[in-house]
Structures are given as C-alpha cells and as structure tokens.
Amino acid sequence: MAPLWGSSWSSAWSSLRGYSPVQNGEQSTATSSTVDSSSSHLKPSIGQILMSKRVRYALSAFAILGLFLLAFHNYDRLPSMDTLRGGTAAPVNSHSDCPPAVVPPFQDSQVDWSRYAYTQYVTNAAYLCNSVMIFETLFRLGSKADRVMMYPEKMMDPAETQPSTEEAKLLAKARDQYGVKLVPVSVQRRPGGDSTWAESFTKLLAFNQTQYARVLNVDSDATILQTMDELFLMPSCPVAMPRAYWLFPKDKILSSQLMLVQPSAVEFDRIMKKIESAGSNDYDMEIVNQLYEDSAMILPHRPYDLLTGEFRGDDHRNYLGTDREEWDPVAIFNEAKFLHFSDWPVPKPWIPMSESMRQDKQPKCETKNGQENCASRDLWNSFYADFAQRRSQVCNTNKKARR
C-alpha cells in the first residue's frame, strides 16, 4: 500500500476532523422525529469511525512507518538471512561498539590503582627469569598498578618463606623485592608441537583474573621502555590489542603480545571453549583473533608494540603509518613504550647469538648527505646487550638458559 501523502493524506485528515462527538442524553422530540436529508446526517459512533476505510488506511500507514523506523534504528541487531535459514538468530554481539582507544585526562591521586594489574604467565625457568625482569622494570619505573605472576603451581607455594630451589628463590625475590603477587596455576598445554607455543594458552588465564577490573598482559620476551599505566583508563571494552602492523593492511590480525583485558567469567568461558575446539595450528594469537578480530578495541601499535626487527628493515611505512615521515630510529625508540624481541632468524635474547650472526644480521649503517649514520645498528645492538646485562643482575645467573 502506498503511503498516504498529498491529496490522500489531506482527505483522510479532513474526514477525521469532520467528526464531532456524539451527544449524550435525550434528544428533543421535535428534532428526533424528523430528519432533514439535505442538511443533516446521523453522527457516527466510535466503532464506525474506526471501521472507516480512510481511517484504517491512515492507521496502517502509521504502523508501517513505525516498524520501518524501528528496524532502521536496530539494523545491526537484525538476524541475517543465513541465521534465519538456520532456524535460529545469532546472539547480539555486545562488543561490536567498543569506543576508540583514547586515554581520558586523569590525575594519579584520583585513580584506585589497586583495581588494575600487569600480568605475566610463566611456563618454565627461562620464562620465569624474563617475567621477573619485566616486573623489575615496572617496579623501577614506578608503575602504580599491581603486578601479578601466574606460574606453575609445582614451582613453589606462594607463601613460602624458605625457598630452596633456584626457581623458588626467584619467585620469592619477585614477591619480596618487586611487590609481585604470586598466583599458582595449572599450565595450559597441548600435546605435540613446539612446547613454547603449546603452553602459550596459559597467557589466556589473564581473562580469569576477576579480582581486577582490568589487566594488561605483556609477553615476557620483551622490554618495557616506559610505564603504560594510562592504558588501564581506556574506555570500557572486553579486550583491547594492537594490530600486527608488520602484516597490515594485507592482514588485519590482532597482536597478542600486549592484551588489555577486562576479566570476566563470561569471557573466560568463551576462551576455554575456544581452546577446547582449537585446531592443531591454533595457539593464543589464533584464539584471540577468532574471538575478537572484529570486536576488540584497537590500541595504537605506535608506541605500544615495536619490534626489534623494525630496526633491521628498509621499509618502515607500516610502522610509521605513512610514506611521508622519515625514519628516525632515535625518535622512534624514545617514543616507544614496549619493545618486543622479534628478529627471525636471530634467536631470542636469552639464547646466545654467535658473533658471526650478529655481524651478519645487525642493521646496516646509512650514508646521508655524505655522513654515515649507524643509529639503527647501535640501538639494535644495545637492545640485546641491555637484556643480557639485566638478566644477569635480576636473575643472578650467568648460566646458559634453555628455551
């Protein structure tokens, strides 16, 4: 039926205005005994008004218009044709409207930092040392949020006061010197494959730390360059992560090297069910992408996710986000807050690197305006030298670490 616009709408409205209310009480005998057909009509009842075709058309038009506006306003919640064919409508995704990642103005004294925590997961002795190094840095930089370490329950009772093993001594050091809260957990591992990746599911236990309003989980094969407390105050969203900028824009993959999580029983249940059905090549990064690729809040990779391998590259457009900006390694380093060791085929920084590999893989010096610039090379080498020095000091070990 066409809408009642133009003359149709005018005539319908005129017909409604022409009705007057029916009078109650007795009519005079003189006026009720005869009817002048040329000038008088019987006044219709309410039922007759509602049964009028014009009124019904008008009401139908109003109803259709209202349904259209309601559907348009809730378009994103309507079931798709695929879900209708399947007989059930997909649940509404309440995470699809996460606001942009913007840090609001705040004053430290007005924030209850006990509601937030940096989290680390540990699966073996090598990563235990890395984790303690992360917490030592946060302690030294004056981070205000709590620090929580999830570690294999067999390593030590969290209340141990007389640690005997090297692992237990390191856990006690983290607790007593760097204010780390120890949380023993059952390592989430899957048989087969590389043990490091197979045990990386333990990282996702961050979603279960419901004693906090928000946790920031960072990979331990990294260096924190500046505190990142401001991330805890981002707008509400179940999870926030940067994109893997080195794959963007071809692949819009989330990087799980840094995850800002709002722990909840609901999200943890989703995580655990996805792990149970994970494929043979699915690990923590695949899990979070399958669940949150289109719903996560996107954190800027600059300054929150810089790879050491970036300093060895020739094309920096993906990191810079533009082809107009000139690569300035010193400026990039100074603004970065989280530096992740990713330099294949260069080994992780706790694994000895041969001098021949270092010479072969270190960044090349550049010549500009007749002058040689080795800033990228110097910085890159300093990343590995600094890591080795801090590892020796914090973990009190000069032994070769096994991966």
Q: Over the chain, what HEC string results?
A: CCCCCHHHHHHHHHHHHCCCCCCCCCCCHHHHHCCCCCCCCCCCCHHHHHHCHHHHHHHHHHHHHHHHHHHHHCHHHCCCHHHHHCCCCCCCCCCCCCCCCCCCCCCHHHCCHHHEEEEEECCCHHHHHHHHHHHHHHHHHCCCCEEEEEEECCCCCCCCCCCCCHHHHHHHHHHHHCCEEEEEECCCCCCCCCHHHHCHHHHHHHHHCCCCCEEEEECCCEEECCCCHHHHHCCCCCEEEEECCCCCCCCCCECCCEEEECCCHHHHHHHHHHHHCCCCCCCHHHHHHHHHCCCCEEECHHHHCEEHHHHHCCCCHHHHCCCCCCCCHHHHHHHCCEEECCCCCCCCCCCCCCHHHHHHHCCCCEEECCEEECHHHHHHHHHHHHHHHHHHHHHCCCCCCCC
pLDDT-above-70 percentage for the chain: 71
pLDDT at residue 246 is higher than 50: yes
Query: Quick one: DSSP state of residue 221?
Result: S
Distance CA 118, CA 160 (A): 22
pLDDT of residue 31: 42
Residue with tokens 């080195």: 246
Q: What is the mean pLDDT of residues 230-247?
A: 95
Q: What is the total residue count of the chain?
A: 403
Task: Say if residue 263 is preceded by a cis peptide, omega within 30 of 0.
Answer: no
- Is 291 in contact with 262 (CB distance < 8 Å)? no
| pTM of the predicted model as reported, rounded to 2 decimal places | 0.73
Peptide bond into 104 cis (omega under 30): no
Q: What is the pLDDT of residue 205?
A: 86
| CB atoms inside a 10 Å sphere around CB 215 | 24
* pLDDT over 90 (residue 34): no
State how far the Cα of 373 lies from the Cα of 378, in Å rounded to an integer: 10
Burial class (CB in 10 A: 0-12, 13-18, 19+), 350: buried
Q: How many CB atoms lie within 10 A of CB 396?
A: 12
Cα separation, 160 vs 145, whole angstroms:
24
Q: Give the range among 157-166, 181-190, 242-251 with minimum mean pLDDT.
A: 181-190
pLDDT confidence band for 201 (50 / 70 / 90): confident
Lowest-confidence range among 97-101, 340-344, 345-349? 97-101
Q: How far apart are CA 245 and CA 301, in angstroms?
A: 7
Among residues 108, 177, 116, the alpha carbon closest in space to that of 146 is found at: 116
Tokens of 73: 């306003």
Residue 400 has pLDDT above 60, yes or no: no
Q: Is the pLDDT of residue 48 over 80?
A: no
Report d(CA 86, CA 11) in Å as an integer: 46
Structure letter (DSSP) for residue 206:
G
Instruction: Assign 39 a pLDDT band (cuts: 50, 70, 90).
Output: very low
Give the CA diameter of the chain: 122
In this prediction, residues 369-379 reach a mean pLDDT of 94
Q: Give the tokens for residue 123.
A: 């699966």
pLDDT confidence of residue 6: 41
The larger pLDDT score, comparing residue 285 to residue 264, is at 264
Which pair of tokens denotes residue 308? 């050491």
Spatial separation of the C-alpha atoms in residues 292 and 273, rounded to whole Å: 14
Q: What is the pLDDT of residues 70-84, one digit of tens each?
A: 544 443 334 433 333
Report the C-alpha gap between 379 and 339 in whole angstroms.
12
* pLDDT score, position 3: 42
Cβ-contact 130, 121 below 8 angstroms = no
* Predicted local distance difference test score (pLDDT) of residue 192: 53
